[in-house]
Amino acid sequence: MADKFKVVSLGKFGGGPLTAEKKELGSLSVEVELVAARCTTEDELIAAAGDADAILGGSRFFTRRVMEALPKCQIIATYSVGYDTIDIQAATDNNIIVVNNPAVCWCVEEVSNHALALLLATAKKLTIQNNLAKQGRWSEIRQILPPMAPIHGQTLGLIGCGNIGRMTARKAQCFGLTILGYDPYVDKSLAEESGINLVSSLSQLLNESDFVSVHAFLNEETHHLIGEVEFGQMKPTAFFINTARGPIVDEVALIKALHEKKIAGAGLDVFEKEPIAPDNPLLKMDNVVVLAHSASYSDTAIEVNSINPSQEVARVLSGKWPNNPVDGTVKPKTNLAK
């Protein structure tokens, strides 16, 4: 074991204190230098973590070039469930273990709450009403309310029925919503336990839903899963909600569908390119609620969600195999006990 380890924490939401990280890494029998860094380029990431033994947090700059510039790094442990911003093959080729964070119960709670908040905000036209009321245009609010269907008795379609999708379903039933789900990989009994009626095709879900909420994982299979054809299959009165990953949706097709009134509106926390460009047409649409990829945030969630990845880093640096490696075939830089 080394005399001292350097661990770099990247992009912790809100820049909160590294309390959980310090506690978990403090269990190691050697000194740990824990450094927080914000990196906006590959070069900044290399400068901050080039001599690191471990990295906490994901980054869109984890390219093959960066992996090759991390000679000491044994593990990259993300704070999130998703790891789509990391070149996993490049990490494996450079003997770096990538670990994601599936044990994020508070994240599941927050994202499911966020999805339902967007559902309510779009259905009740809260953004439009808020803006008019603040501008002193009270009398105009009644004019923009129609058409507005009731939420109870409507159908919510979930694309992806993992932990977050199922949590969303359980909460949505409190509003009297019927829940449909499309997920070729979920266990049917798990979906049914959460009140989800699984359908056999995405097109059926889109045809029958009044609200469509995305909770899928981003990979090659789901990239641009929702495009022009899919928006054409939705009801013109339906709302589209995405709290998963932006590239699951063809954003050009979404904008076109909104312009052509093929759907009624959208609630979006994620986008194909982040941060969203100032000239993006979505920012000018009254029927679109735009948020800044903040679905997983609460003060408690950020601290709790830091525990598991910190424990994974501590395991590897103490010579043990992690619990949640993305690629179990990776050959680590040091021998690890399983």
Query: Rounded to whole angstroms, how far apart are CA atoms 74 and 77?
Result: 10
Q: State the catalytic residue, choosing from 192, 193, 221, 274.
A: 274
**Closest listed residue to residue 25, CA positions, set 77, 86, 103, 102:** 77
**For this structure, is 152 an active site residue?**
no
Q: Which of 105, 106, 76, 104 is nearest to 91 (CA)?
A: 76
Single-letter amino acid, residue 78: T
Instruction: Tell the residue number behind the tokens 């097709």, with chain if given.
Output: 253
- By residue count, the chain amounts to 338
274 is catalytic: yes
3-state secondary structure of 5: strand
Phi, psi of 288 (to 5 degrees): -125, 125
Active site residue 245: yes
* Residue 229: partners with Cβ closer than 8 Å, 6 or more residues away: none
Rounded distance between C-alpha atoms, residue 89 and residue 217, angstroms: 18
Distance, in Å, from the CA atom of 131 to the CA atom of 200, rounded to the nearest integer, reads 41
Residue in 114, 166, 245, 315 annotated catalytic: 245
127 Cβ partners below 8 Å, 6+ apart?
121, 286, 289
How many Cβ atoms are within 10 Å of 120's Cβ, its own excluded? 15
Rounded to an integer, what distance in angstroms lies between the CA atom of residue 35 and that of residue 117? 35
Active-site positions read: 245, 274, 293
